[in-house]
Amino acid sequence: MFPYLTVFGLDIPVYWLCGLAGGAVCAVLLFVRHRSFPGLKQVDITNAAALGAVGMILGARLLYLVTMLPVILANRDYLREHGNVLKDLLLNGMVFYGGLFGFLAAVQIYLKKYRLDTACFWDYAAPCLPLFHAFGRIGCFCSGCCYGFESERLGMVFSHSIGGPADRPFFPLQLVGSAGEFCLFAAVLLFERKHRGQGKAVPFYLAVYAVGRFIYEFFRGDEIRGIYAGLSLSQWISLALLVTLLVRYLTRRRKTVPAA
């Protein structure tokens, strides 16, 4: 457990440092991959990335607040008397799906506004999505949030946790998630090279991630993330995403198949 790094008396959340490290690694990857996508201008890449970062933070925070709304309403009397707890609740926490959709939407708006080649850009950027998330999961491990099921045999005590219980052993599911994201990064990279120019890399990533996230959620131990009808919010989003991708695939296939 290593939730904070103290520098000159300032406590810097390691979660954010992992995010910065992920962003830096993605920047290097984009620099290297740009040689294979000479049609993309550097100014557009920079602008899209900056706008996407804003969309990611806003989306992640917004979905987190939506997830926490039942908790806030159920404890409104207590939170009214303890404003500091409400402040911490509102200012801390993010949900990945919100950040993902916020990033995709913000960048897509930029691409459409300036009439850029969306298929080319998303093929170029797709491997960065799981790569960045892999570092984010390491940050979750350091903070003690997004932990797995309670287990004496396979668990560990997150003694300095700022995102969960610090007195019981939980399976370090965050590290499994990070390893899975690195594997997904390699898969997206290989898939994109095989289907370059077709705009299939992001849908491929979304489909694989949605299936993996649906299964992954069964091993989570932090029910505060929102459980509805036996499934977590992220599982419901995964199902909706898979249905959307399937409809999109069938619609496009119907348009490309000539009538008999």
Q: Are 158 and 168 in contact (CB under 8 A)?
A: no
- Using one digit for the tens of pLDDT, what is the confidence trace for 54-104? 999 999 999 988 887 777 787 778 778 777 766 666 666 789 999 999 999
- Using one digit for the tens of pLDDT, what is the confidence trace for 5-55? 888 888 888 888 999 999 999 999 999 999 999 999 999 999 999 999 999
pLDDT at residue 84 in the model:
75
- Using one digit for the tens of pLDDT, what is the confidence trace for 188-202? 999 999 999 899 999
CA dihedral 174, 175, 176, 182 (to 10 degrees): 110
Backbone angles phi, psi at 110, to 5 degrees: -65, -45
d(CA 71, CA 239): 24
Residue 260 predicted with pLDDT over 60? no
pLDDT at residue 2 in the model:
77
Query: Within a 13 Å sphere around the CA of 249, how many CA atoms are in the beta-carbon half?
Result: 12
- Using one digit for the tens of pLDDT, what is the confidence trace for 218-246? 999 887 777 788 899 999 999 999 999 99
pLDDT at residue 152 in the model:
92
Paired with 10 in beta bridges are: 7
pLDDT at residue 259 in the model:
52
Residue 3 predicted with pLDDT over 60? yes
**Amino acid identity for residue 170 in this structure:** F
Q: Both tokens of residue 141?
A: 């491990």
- The three-class DSSP label of residue 158 is coil
pLDDT at residue 88 in the model:
67
- Using one digit for the tens of pLDDT, what is the confidence trace for 138-185? 999 998 888 999 999 999 998 887 777 888 999 999 999 999 999 999
What's the pTM value of the predicted model, to 2 decimals?
A: 0.90
Mind giving me the DSSP string for 7-71?
A: ETTEEEEHHHHHHHHHHHHHHHHHHHHGGG-TTS-HHHHHHHHHHHHHHHHHHHHHHHHHHHHHH
d(CA 2, CA 143): 7
